[in-house]
Chains A and B, each alone.
Chain A
Amino acid sequence: MSAIHLKNLTKTFGDFAALKTMDLEIADGEFMALLGPSGCGKSTTMNMIAGMEEPSSGKILFGERDMAGVPMGRRGVGFVFQNYAIFTHMTVRQNLAYGPRMRGAAKVEIDRRVGAIAEMLQLSPLLDRKADRLSVNILQRVAIGRSAIMEPAIFLLDEPLSNVDAAFRAVMRTELKQLQRQFRQTMVYVTHDQLEAMTMADRIAVMDHGVLQQVGTPLEVYNNPANVFVARFIGAPGMNLLKGRPAESDRGLVIDLGPLGVTPPLPDELASSVRAVRNDVLYGFRPEQVALADRGLSMPATFVERIGARTIVHLGEGESAVKAVFENDVGLSVGQTAVVAPPASSVRVFDAATGLAVRAG
């Protein structure tokens, strides 16, 4: 069984709490991304799953088996390091063959397996090259192949694409997904790039400062972020959040955004929950979901980024800065005033004091 269960996992280094009480279940064969900024505890979590670090408290279970005390050589996990950790004094072939060799497999068997993995990862022409002078892109594949050849039930990858150039990253993402689909391993993937997580993962565990913020499918964390951190971190760009105060109006509950004016009325189910909040709130909407409208928030454009298929317009300044993503024919230039409105169904409200999402109903 290759499901992973993290129970009340914590890790402290001296005074520093790298991970605070993490509870996470990863299903057998699932591709789970641990997503968060540097220092959020994602690599620490992964190191504990691999057995490279001991938890300060809590348990790690693979299926039913408690992994406490099981050394890292015996856990049956594949691990791809951020810096590949390729054996630079060996050839590509020797790198790939290392795992089976250490387990005492027969030479014929080793050659067969190496050949198959090399074929799959397009490394066949490079098998006899010394591993120290290869480009990053090739090294990454060797790192994956070296672990994959052992056919581990669990595959751990620590930011494997961060050193790879942007163009090749897209290619590698596809290859990794194919690999996972083919072998149906449980894959845990650490990254700080939300696009990578959204593209590849079945579910995403968003982390910040050692605390798990939310676990869900890509669409779940995108559509219904549990708190302000997730709302801002997921999405390119992240969700816009404007501070305001709930106010009653004749059309329903609105949010008073101060100098920016008043928002359109909130949907009823959401309104009733928002009324229960005593504090200021954050009015949230995604840049990709706004449209130009006749009525809405009126703001001057301060910056326009035309990036290939879409145009990101920066509106407003300081506390009320907002971004909007449009098609390329939007025709806005710096200095022009735009009136934007998010569709009512995409509006999300957060408690400004706690940061938590205010859920409808």
Chain B
Amino acid sequence: MADIVFRNVTKRYGNTLAVDDASFTVNDNEFFCFFGPPLSGKSTILRLVLGLEVPDEGEILIGGKPVNSVSPAERNVAMVFQNLALFPHMSSRDNVRFPLVERKVADAEIEKRLADVAQKLHIGHILHKPPAQLSGGERQRVAIARALVRDPAAYLMDDPISALDARLREETRVELKRIQRELGKTLIYVTHDQEEAMSVADRMAILENGRIRQIGAPAEIYDRPASAYVARMLGSPMMNILPSVRGANGIEAAEGTIRIADARAPAEAIEIGLRPEDLKVRPWTDSGTAEARPARVFEVEPLGGYTVVTIEAGQARLRALLRGQPDVRPDAMVAISCDPGRVHYFGQDGGAL
């Protein structure tokens, strides 16, 4: 089977820990995504999988076999580069055949694999053209074909679409997901775009400074982040995280502009997290002291299908994501509330409670 396992892998560059005690399993046929800010270790992990780096500590296993000392050429993983790195002087057919020709595979076998991969990626009709004559999407598929023609255990992509226009990125990530599903191969994907990661990944790992902070399906991580850090990583606009105190009937935050009536809130919670789409915003009406205090709308950003409302709640600025184009004006006074079931609580160390 073609699963990839890291056990307590650590990699240092000089005095810096690029990867710190990373352990995870990428299952066979999974679209696995590594996500994190720049220099959080994502690309280093990719290089460790490929064999371009050797771990200082820990083990790496591919298909059940330890590969720490196996050279990149002998590991069965292939890489699709961001700039695709197709040879411009060859036809696409020769590009795809290249890895096998290099390894002196028999011609008959090459043709068979070529036909197989071309059919899967729907590129049979363009193979005779050189890469320069192909569209961006076609070139990408040729690059993927070249990686797959070796029938690797897994293929890797490092931020392949960040250089494209926004529109093209949205379409290409769907393409990539479709291709991976059809091919049924393990794909390890690195990106710093959270929407992209959530869209394509079966499971993903969130990284911070070389440490893996959480692994799981995107929906799972989004709904139940393990820490304030992870909670901030996914979701746009970012989750609102504020210091909270225990009030009379539950939790209070932002100088009383937010009151959550939840007697079961954990006692050790020092911060609450509210996703912008979970914030309910109503025009303020004075209906007694039980309600939260009013807050002032600072800014309204109409996005068409949604509206982002920035609200000054006490010292903090909260962002609420409202559906459609509600009539909210800057400087209006509003009441903020949130369903208690949607509130996230964080403790002293930033961990979720």
Classify A-B as touching or not with yes or no (CB < 8 A): yes
B305 at the interface (CB under 8 A from A): yes
- Decide: A308 and B234 in contact? CB cutoff 8 A: yes
Most chain B Cβ neighbours within 10 Å, of A286, A305, A306: A305
Shortest CB distance B16–A (Å): 15
Q: Which of B81-89, B148-156, B187-195, B246-254 forms contacts with chain A?
A: B187-195
A166 at the interface (CB under 8 A from B): yes
Chain B residue nearest in CB terms to A200: B301
Residues of A within 8 A of B38 (CB): 135, 165
Given A193-B166, A219-B325, A306-B198, does the pair A170, B237 have CB atoms closer than 8 Å? yes
Which of B166, B177, B192, B305 makes the CB contact (< 8 A) with A167? B192
- Decide: B305 and A288 in contact? CB cutoff 8 A: yes
A314 at the interface (CB under 8 A from B): yes
Given A193-B166, A303-B178, A308-B195, does the pair A218, B304 have CB atoms closer than 8 Å? yes
Between-chain CB contacts (< 8 Å), 22 pairs: A37-B167, A165-B37, A166-B196, A170-B237, A192-B165, A194-B166, A195-B166, A198-B301, A198-B303, A199-B301, A218-B302, A222-B302, A222-B303, A234-B304, A235-B304, A286-B304, A288-B306, A288-B323, A306-B199, A306-B219, A309-B321, A325-B305
Given A165-B192, A192-B167, 9 new contacts (CB under 8 A)? A165-B193, A167-B192, A194-B166, A198-B304, A222-B302, A234-B304, A237-B170, A289-B305, A309-B277
- Interface size class, chain B: 35 or more
A303-B234 Cα distance, complex, nearest whole Å:
21
B141 at the interface (CB under 8 A from A): no
B51 at the interface (CB under 8 A from A): no
Shortest CB distance B317–A (Å): 9
What residues make up the interface of B, taking CB atoms closer than 8 Å to A? 37-38, 165-167, 170, 174, 177-178, 192-196, 198-199, 218-219, 222, 233-238, 275-277, 301-306, 308, 321, 323-325
Residues of B within 8 A of A167 (CB): 37, 192, 194, 233
Chain A residue nearest in CB terms to B277: A309
A38 at the interface (CB under 8 A from B): yes
- Decide: A236 and B170 in contact? CB cutoff 8 A: yes
- Decide: A198 and B37 in contact? CB cutoff 8 A: no
Chain B residue nearest in CB terms to A286: B305
A223 at the interface (CB under 8 A from B): yes
Given A192-B166, A219-B325, A307-B195, does the pair A287, B37 have CB atoms closer than 8 Å? no
Q: Mark A119-160, 1 if CB is under 8 A from B, else 0.
A: 000000000000000010000000000000000000000000
Shortest CB distance A353–B (Å): 24
What residues make up the interface of A, taking CB atoms closer than 8 Å to B? 37-38, 135, 165-167, 170, 192-195, 198-199, 218-219, 222-223, 233-238, 286-289, 303, 305-310, 312, 314, 325, 328
Which of A38, A166, A289, A303 makes the CB contact (< 8 A) with B193? A166
Chain B residue nearest in CB terms to A235: B304
A233-B234 Cα distance, complex, nearest whole Å:
25
A286-B38 Cα distance, complex, nearest whole Å:
34
Residues of B within 8 A of A135 (CB): 38
Chain A residue nearest in CB terms to B325: A219
A307-B170 Cα distance, complex, nearest whole Å:
12
Chain A residue nearest in CB terms to B301: A199
Chain A residue nearest in CB terms to B39: A135
Shortest CB distance B33–A (Å): 13
Residues of A within 8 A of B302 (CB): 198, 218-219, 222
Shortest CB distance A356–B (Å): 20
Which of B194, B303, B304 makes the CB contact (< 8 A) with A166? B194
- Decide: A235 and B192 in contact? CB cutoff 8 A: no
Shortest CB distance B339–A (Å): 13
Chain A residue nearest in CB terms to B306: A288
Most chain A Cβ neighbours within 10 Å, of B170, B196, B308: B170
Residues of B within 8 A of A286 (CB): 304-305
A195-B302 Cα distance, complex, nearest whole Å:
10
Chain B residue nearest in CB terms to A222: B304
- Decide: B275 and A305 in contact? CB cutoff 8 A: no
Q: Which 3 A-B pairs have the closest CB atoms?
A: A288-B305, A222-B304, A309-B277
A40-B321 Cα distance, complex, nearest whole Å:
31
- Decide: B305 and A306 in contact? CB cutoff 8 A: no
Shortest CB distance B193–A (Å): 4
Chain B residue nearest in CB terms to A218: B302
Chain A residue nearest in CB terms to B191: A166
Residues of B within 8 A of A312 (CB): 199
Shortest CB distance A223–B (Å): 7
- Decide: A308 and B194 in contact? CB cutoff 8 A: yes
A198-B325 Cα distance, complex, nearest whole Å:
13
Given A167-B37, A308-B236, does the pair A223, B304 have CB atoms closer than 8 Å? yes
Shortest CB distance A186–B (Å): 20
Shortest CB distance A189–B (Å): 14
- Decide: B305 and A307 in contact? CB cutoff 8 A: no
Chain A residue nearest in CB terms to B237: A170
Residues of B within 8 A of A198 (CB): 301-304
Shortest CB distance A204–B (Å): 11
Shortest CB distance B23–A (Å): 25
Residues of A within 8 A of B177 (CB): 303
A306-B277 Cα distance, complex, nearest whole Å:
14
Given A166-B192, A306-B219, A309-B321, does the pair A199, B308 have CB atoms closer than 8 Å? yes
A185-B167 Cα distance, complex, nearest whole Å:
29
A195-B275 Cα distance, complex, nearest whole Å:
19
- Decide: B199 and A218 in contact? CB cutoff 8 A: no
Residues of B within 8 A of A289 (CB): 305, 324
A171-B234 Cα distance, complex, nearest whole Å:
14
A237-B168 Cα distance, complex, nearest whole Å:
11
A170-B321 Cα distance, complex, nearest whole Å:
14
A195-B195 Cα distance, complex, nearest whole Å:
13
Residues of A within 8 A of B219 (CB): 306, 328
